Amino acid sequence: MGKVEELVRKNIANTVFSIPFMANELAMTERSLQRQLKKVAGLTPKQYIQEIRLNEARQLLEERRYTTVTKVAYAIGFTDPKTFSF
């Protein structure tokens, strides 16, 4: 799990970071990644990535590293700040 989390955090601002890319970097098929994450974390890869991004956003907002929510949204890989605010 540590390697998965490290990979997501390393690519947190990457707007094109995807499940196929993630599976490839971990030398797994998408299906095996899906099964392993579901088994260990209880989340799908998409949910897992979103969970890490939202936790990072919370931390950035609490530490006031950015002046606007829009800047935080871009910093954690959201391409549209509107989807971050929902």
Question: Count of alpha carbons within 13 Å of 26, Cβ hemisphere only?
Answer: 24
pLDDT tens, residue by residue, 4-28: 999 999 999 888 899 999 999 999 9
Q: Are 21 and 86 in contact (CB under 8 A)?
A: no
Distance CA 15, CA 64 (A): 22
pLDDT tens, residue by residue, 41-54: 999 999 999 899 99
pLDDT tens, residue by residue, 26-85: 999 999 999 999 999 999 999 999 899 999 999 998 999 988 888 998 899 888 878 776
Distance CA 38, CA 15 (A): 23
Asked whether the whole model's pTM tops 0.85, one would answer no
